[in-house]
């Protein structure tokens, strides 16, 4: 059946009388036992008295200032945590680079020894001299 078809309701009142609205009963909530911060604030701080006549605008500059300071504090904390994480990453990189540097330095020191150099140039036909070096003396009038 189509939803736009009128069906006569037999339970509807037959005269023009004001309908009485039934009051909805609020469900009874069992009280929870335990600590509640909001219940404690409601009990000891009478905040409702502040808002009886509306929002007190004389406190707005202070509230906005404190809100701004709080946001700056939170942002600064996030920035500090981010910086600490970056420092930790860089420390790990520096340790890796220091280890690489030490390894390369020891390899270079080993390769620059006279015996290692002689062994590496032997396939090129170069050999170590067994005679000590001598000094060539040129007289000044030769040029």
Model pLDDT for residues 14-60, shown as the tens digit of each residue:
666 666 777 777 777 766 667 788 888 777 887 777 777 777 788 88
Predicted pLDDT of residue 64: 95
Given a cut of 60, whether residue 117 has pLDDT beyond it is: yes
Average pLDDT, the chain: 84
pTM for the full predicted model:
0.46
Predicted pLDDT of residue 90: 97
Given a cut of 60, whether residue 135 has pLDDT beyond it is: yes
| Mean pLDDT of the 130-142 span | 89
Predicted pLDDT of residue 47: 73
Look at the block and give the residue holding tokens 């939803």. 3
> In Å, how far are 45, 70, 72, 84 from 81, measured between CA atoms?
36, 17, 14, 5
Residue 97, phi then psi, degrees to nearest 5:
-65, -35
- Tell me the per-residue pLDDT of 74-93, one tens digit each, with 9 for 90 and over: 999 999 999 999 999 999 99
Predicted pLDDT of residue 79: 98
Predicted pLDDT of residue 87: 98
**DSSP assigned state of 24:** P
Predicted pLDDT of residue 14: 66
């Amino acid at each position: 059946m189509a939803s736009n078809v009128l069906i006569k309701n037999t339970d509807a009142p037959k005269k023009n009388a004001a309908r009485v609205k039934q009051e909805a009963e609020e469900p009874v909530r069992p009280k929870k036992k335990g600590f509640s911060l909001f219940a404690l604030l409601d009990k000891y701080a009478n905040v409702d008295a502040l808002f009886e006549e509306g929002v007190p605008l004389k406190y707005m500059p202070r509230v906005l200032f404190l809100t701004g300071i709080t946001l700056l504090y939170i942002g600064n904390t996030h920035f500090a945590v981010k910086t600490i994480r970056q420092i930790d990453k860089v420390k790990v990189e520096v340790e890796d680079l220091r280890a690489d540097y030490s390894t390369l330095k020891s390899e270079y020191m080993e390769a620059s020894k006279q015996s290692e150099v002689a062994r590496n140039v032997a396939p090129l036909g170069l050999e170590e001299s067994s005679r000590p070096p001598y000094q060539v003396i040129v007289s000044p009038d030769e040029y």
